[in-house]
């Protein structure tokens, strides 16, 4: 039996790499659902190639074009946000890969968990915004959440075979991004073109900016907390510019296990698909003649203030991470439209954190409200 996989966000960086994994293993995996937001041409091309059971375009204005282009195929065509939540509950779906970007991933992920579908989680914003709620939901529904983020996949791989052995520390590696060695003065003048050039990874624009500002690493600290049940003080960030050591776990006896490999997201995607087994893969291997220096250094939270803001949100808990996420989504969008500078993103997020009402034990409705209000406040701060 082939595993039937629903890919939310199949037209993105993670989505297209997931389709490469499926293509490499036609005997193991099948794309059952493909979805996009706007890139309808690519979705049509993917649907023609992979012949899924259903496709969804979130932007309803593109429905007509999609429907018409696939009229000769037996593919069900849907549109809208509600359809994203519906389609993942199909009885045939064996796993849902959440590869959408941002807060928009929260609702369909919740729908998939409630339908008992194992989650391959790339959409880290879901855990940043509502980690506690998602964990509870996954627990009640006995739905596994398998990490796709490379650092968390590395930790997950280090934990294989460790049974009940307690984690002393999770050590998340960070590349440091394109501005690792920049001074604050230099950071004040960087352009989006520079920020979009990540040294080691090719990813969607939002996460690439988050990587340059190190907000991505802040989010990954939160993600690690919820995925591995560790306290914030048990999570350490280490800058490792070569992105070969994907992360590490330290145990009670001081032993540290690490997972290494070339920076290639197809490996963690495939591991989430095949877990607990490992399958053959054609990805490039490390060449030790080329890879002869691995370095590690402390992150600088004075130059990369987003990392400090993320830690603050993590310590305060409640709806604070949701506030940081929403403010960050708006700030990144504004930076990508040349409306704010690189360093202003941190100022804006900090101000949004100060202005929003704190809720210690948010419900789902509180998160929805917090997200909406934070976006509106952040827009005001920018314009």
Task: Give the residues lining the site for Mg ion (CB under 5 A).
Answer: 149-151
Looking at beta carbons only, is 206 or 305 nearer to ligand NDP?
A: 206
Place of tokens 């359809």: 83
Contact range with ligand NDP by CB under 6 A, out of 99-107, 157-165, 186-194, 226-234: 99-107
Residue 330 sits in the site that holds ligand NDP (CB under 6 A): no
What's the rounded Cα separation, in Å, for the pair 340 and 335?
Answer: 5
Strands ordered across the beta sheet of 145-147 = 76-79, 54-57, 29-36, 3-8, 95-98, 119-121, 145-147
Terminal alpha carbon distance of the chain: 54
**Binding-site size, ligand NDP (CB under 6 A):** 27
The answer to whether 180 and 214 are in contact (CB under 8 A) is no
Is residue 13 near ligand NDP by the rule CB under 6 A? yes
Which of residues 18, 215, 265, 330 is near ligand NDP by CB under 6 A?
265
Q: How far is the CB of 205 from Mg ion (least distance, A)?
A: 15
Residue 108 C-beta: closest distance to ligand NDP, Å: 8
Q: Return the one option of Mg ion, ligand NDP, none that residue 83 interacts with (CB less than 5 to 8 A, by type).
A: none
How long, in residues, is the chain? Answer: 383
Task: Name which position in 80, 144, 204, 341 contacts ligand NDP (CB under 6 A).
Answer: 204
Partner whose footprint covers residue 123, from ligand NDP, Mg ion, none (CB < 5 to 8 Å by kind): ligand NDP
Per CB under 6 A, the list member of 4, 5, 6, 15 interacting with ligand NDP is: 15
Instruction: Answer positive or negative: Cα dihedral of 314, 318, 324, 329.
Output: positive
Binding status of residue 5 toward ligand NDP by CB under 6 A: no
For the CB of residue 180, give the shortest distance to ligand NDP in the complex, in Å: 18
261 sits near ligand NDP (criterion: CB under 6 A): no
Q: Which does 207 bind (CB under 5 to 8 A by kind): ligand NDP, Mg ion, none?
A: ligand NDP
Nearest to 307 by CA among 379, 239, 382: 239
Integer Cα distance of 57 and 77 in angstroms: 8
Tokens 């419900």 sit on residue: 363
Q: Write down the least CB distance from residue 168 to ligand NDP, Å.
A: 25
Interface with ligand NDP in residues 23-62 (CB under 6 A): 36-39, 58
CA-nearest of 121, 106, 308, 101 to 206 is 101
Of the candidates 259, 241, 263, 260, which has an alpha carbon nearest to the alpha carbon of residue 249? 259
DSSP 8-class letter at 27: T
**299 is written with which tokens?**
């992150």
3-state secondary structure of 153: helix
When the beta carbons of 9 and 261 are compared against ligand NDP, the nearer one is 9
- What part of residues 147-166 is at the interface with ligand NDP (CB under 6 A)? 149
> Residue 203 Cβ, how far from Mg ion at the closest point, in Å?
9
* Cα separation, 147 vs 224, whole angstroms: 10
- b/e per residue 143-174 (b: at least 16 CB within 10 A): bebbbbbbbbbbbbbbbeeeeeeebeebbbbb
306 binds ligand NDP, rule: CB under 6 A: no
User: Residue 39: which of ligand NDP, Mg ion, none does it interact with, CB under 5 to 8 A by kind?
Assistant: ligand NDP
User: Residue 15 binds which entry of Mg ion, ligand NDP, none, with Cβ cut-offs from 5 to 8 Å by kind?
Assistant: ligand NDP
- Binding flag, residue 104, ligand NDP (CB under 6 A): yes
Contact predicate 88/112, CB 8 Å = yes
Judged by beta carbon, residue 107 or residue 351, the one nearer ligand NDP is 107
Q: How far is the CB of 268 from ligand NDP (least distance, A)?
A: 8
Q: Which region among 25-33, 93-101, 110-118, 321-329 touches ligand NDP (by CB under 6 A)?
A: 93-101
Interface with ligand NDP, residue 101, by CB under 6 A: yes
Measured between alpha carbons, how far is residue 79 from residues 7, 59, 65, 82, 344 in Å?
A: 15, 7, 11, 8, 36
Interacting residues toward ligand NDP by CB under 6 A = 9-15, 36-39, 58, 99-101, 104, 122-125, 149, 201, 203-204, 206-207, 265
């Amino acid at each position: 039996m082939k595993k039937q996989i629903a890919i939310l966000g199949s037209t993105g960086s993670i989505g297209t790499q997931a389709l490469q994994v499926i293509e490499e293993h036609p005997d193991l995996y099948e794309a059952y659902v493909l979805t996009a937001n706007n890139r309808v041409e690519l979705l049509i091309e993917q649907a023609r190639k992979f012949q899924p059971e259903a496709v969804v375009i979130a932007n309803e204005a593109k429905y007509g074009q999609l429907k018409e282009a696939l009229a000769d195929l037996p593919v069900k065509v849907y549109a809208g946000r509600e359809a994203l939540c519906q389609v993942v509950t199909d009885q045939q779906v064996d796993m849902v890969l959440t590869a959408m970007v941002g807060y928009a991933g929260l609702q369909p992920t919740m729908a998939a968990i409630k339908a008992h579908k194992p989650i391959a989680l790339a959409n880290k914003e879901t855990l940043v915004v509502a980690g506690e709620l998602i964990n509870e939901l996954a627990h009640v529904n006995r739905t596994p959440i398998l990490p796709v983020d490379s650092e968390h996949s590395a930790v997950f791989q280090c934990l294989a075979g460790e049974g009940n052995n307690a984690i002393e520390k999770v050590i998340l590696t960070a590349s440091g991004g394109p501005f690792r060695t920049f001074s604050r003065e230099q950071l004040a003048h960087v352009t989006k073109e520079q920020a979009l050039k990540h040294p080691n990874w090719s990813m969607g624009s939002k996460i690439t900016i988050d990587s340059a500002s190190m907000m991505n690493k802040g989010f990954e600290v939160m993600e690690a907390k919820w995925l591995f049940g560790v306290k914030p003080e048990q999570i350490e960030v280490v800058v490792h510019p070569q992105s070969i050591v994907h992360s590490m776990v330290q145990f009670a006896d001081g032993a540290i296990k690490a997972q290494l490999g070339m920076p290639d997201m197809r490996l963690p995607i495939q591991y989430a698909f095949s877990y607990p087994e490992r399958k053959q893969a054609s990805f490039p291997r490390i060449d030790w003649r080329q890879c002869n220096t691995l370095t590690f250094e402390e992150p600088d939270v004075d130059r990369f203030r987003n990392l400090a803001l993320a830690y603050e949100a993590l310590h305060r808990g409640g709806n604070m991470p949701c506030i940081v996420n929403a403010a960050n989504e708006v700030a990144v969008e504004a930076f990508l439209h040349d409306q704010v500078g690189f360093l202003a993103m941190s100022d804006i997020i900090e101000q949004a954190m100060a202005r929003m009402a704190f809720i210690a034990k948010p419900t789902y409705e509180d998160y929805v409200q917090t997200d909406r209000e934070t976006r509106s406040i952040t827009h005001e701060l920018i314009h």
